[in-house]
Structure 1
Amino acid sequence: MRVIGVGDNVVDKYLYKKTMYPGGNALNFAVYAKQLGIDSAYMGVFGNDRAAEHIVETLKKLEVDISHCRHYEGENGFAAVDLVDGDRVFIGGNEGGIQKDNPLVLTQEDLEYIKTFEIAHSSIYSDMDSELHKLKELGLMVSYDFSSDYNDALLKKNCQYIDVSLLSCGQLDEEEVENLLKQVYSYGSKLVIGTMGSKGALVYDGSAYYRQKPHFIQPVDTLGAGDSFFTKFILHYLAGKKDNPEGDHALLLISSLEEGAKFAAKTCLVDGAFGYGIPF
């Protein structure tokens, strides 16, 4: 299996300890897949500052393929993280940095390359919603993280091109989450996942809801928990579909959720999304 993250990368700058860590939804997906023994790649936009250099160096160390990335002169994307009442919270950033003015526009060469993968994962922070139809037309699975920055119009516009939608729903009660997932399914996504923080996750496949409680541990850092949960979930799901196409779909979803929760718990024992912090 080969997978690719297409879109956002940042450094997460922890202001209270002056340390920055590589991150971003699309980039994290590629890194977590690599950690899980899957051949992975990342395609995105880098600046030419120390943050960009550090991310590139880290991805090369991890042997994630970045051969199709763009490099521009300017500031790389970053998100600012601070400690508020003991919790790490995002308090701003530069909205993708150089990616804002130089969004990823997929060329025919890019598409031929992406076609060699089984799943392409992107996000709402990737500034490439206009490119989603190109990914869908390739015939591979497309997954997308809306985080908590979605509205009905955006979901309706994008979900026709997305096979698996991921939404952060911690602010909603369970009935609201169920209604939201059903709505997103009606817009075109075949699997819809709502993550709810300490309340766990909910998946809807058009016929039933599947619930997963988190694996409770004493976390070092919860950053990346949602991305790692999704990565393990979808990789386990895809492997199960490949190994046993006629197998029980419900059982596969249940086991995939459990595997995702296990991996997310491990991620919470590491600083940053996956470590590799340096001072700034």
Structure 2
Amino acid sequence: MPIKVATVGDNCIDRYGHPTSLSTVGGNALNVAVHLARAGMHCAYFGAVGDDDAGRRTINELAANGVDIGHVRIAQGVTAFTELTHDDTGDRVIGLEEFGVCLDYRVTPMEFEQLNVMRHIHLGWMGDSGQCQEKLKSMGLSLSQDLAVNGNAAGLDLAFASAGPCRDRAITLANHALAQGAKLAVVTMGPIGSLASDGRSVFEVGAHTTKIVDTLGAGDTFIAAFLAAQLLGRDVNACLEAGRDAAAVTCTHIGGFPQMPLEI
């Protein structure tokens, strides 16, 4: 029986500017949900989309990738979107962010009950000042989050961060997350690999050389692959390798997961 997991929070339409002029479905919580489902987990996505074409597109992409869409809320308003460009290395540069209906999304008491049966929950960006994280923590649930979307690692079983190509900074970020209360801190270092620390040991793996088309969603892919490997009982080094390998594939295509981009 597949392991039950969930992601909670953001989704958006990523709009790539000239000369790409394409859009894809993305967002931290959504990308992680898709990759967890693609890794064989039974993953439910909890979040809100607008009552517009972008919202319908988002739901269709989730369903097409095997994500449980039974908890997606359709709200009156605009589906979130982000305007992006690329630098000369293929790394994304974020311009305008419109949070749309994601801004006011809140988990209901009934949804907290539904989340209570999950083996693990990954939290994306939410505009609730950490209230959902605090509630899930009080329920004793296994939690992870990317510190890029919420810098508070208190109560997290896994805190993810990105340091760029600097090991010293990665160690600093890991130690800070552990000091805040995370049980395991996992930090990616771009072209030099990734590391994880539990405060007693540091685990490290190198990176794979790959032709970069687009780095958007690579971190989300890493998170999902690491989580899936851990849920399957693999050791920390194997989880880091799983994250590295999956993220390298995401860098070879437009968007956070394989999909058909639309022209804008």
Pairing 1:1-280 to 2, within 5 Å after superposition: 1-16=3-18, 17-100=20-103, 102-104=104-106, 106-123=107-124, 125-128=125-128, 129-147=130-148, 155=151, 158-170=152-164, 173-240=166-233, 252-276=235-259, 277-280=261-264
CA displacement, residues 152-202 of structure 1 (integer Å, 9 cap, x when unaligned): xxx4xx32221111112117x322321221121021100111112112212
SS in 2 for 1:223: coil
* Inter-partner Cα distance in structure 2 for 1:111 and 1:53: 25
Whether contact under 8 Å (1:118, 1:140) holds in the other structure is yes
SS in 2 for 1:110: helix
Return closer, same or farther for 1:60/1:238 CA change in 2, 3 Å cut-off.
closer
CA displacement, residues 192-232 of structure 1 (integer Å, 9 cap, x when unaligned): 11112112212111101111211111133222111111111
Whether contact under 8 Å (1:185, 1:192) holds in the other structure is yes
| 2:14 counterpart letter in structure 1 | D
TM score, norm. by length of structure 2: 0.91
SS in 2 for 1:160: coil
Sequence identity percentage: 32
Task: Report the Cα offset of residue 86 of structure 1.
Answer: 4.7
TM score, norm. by length of structure 1: 0.86
* Inter-partner Cα distance in structure 1 for 2:76 and 2:132: 23
The structure carrying a bigger helix percent of its residues is 1
Task: Report the Cα offset of residue 85 of structure 1.
Answer: 2.5
Task: Report the Cα offset of residue 261 of structure 1.
Answer: 1.1
| 1:5 counterpart letter in structure 2 | T
Whether contact under 8 Å (1:142, 1:163) holds in the other structure is yes
Task: Report the Cα offset of residue 5 of structure 1.
Answer: 0.9
Structure 1: 5+ residue runs without aligned partners? 242-251
Whether contact under 8 Å (2:162, 2:170) holds in the other structure is no
Indicate the RMSD between aligned Cα atoms, in angstroms: 1.8
Structure 2: 5+ residue runs without aligned partners? none
| 2:117 counterpart letter in structure 1 | T
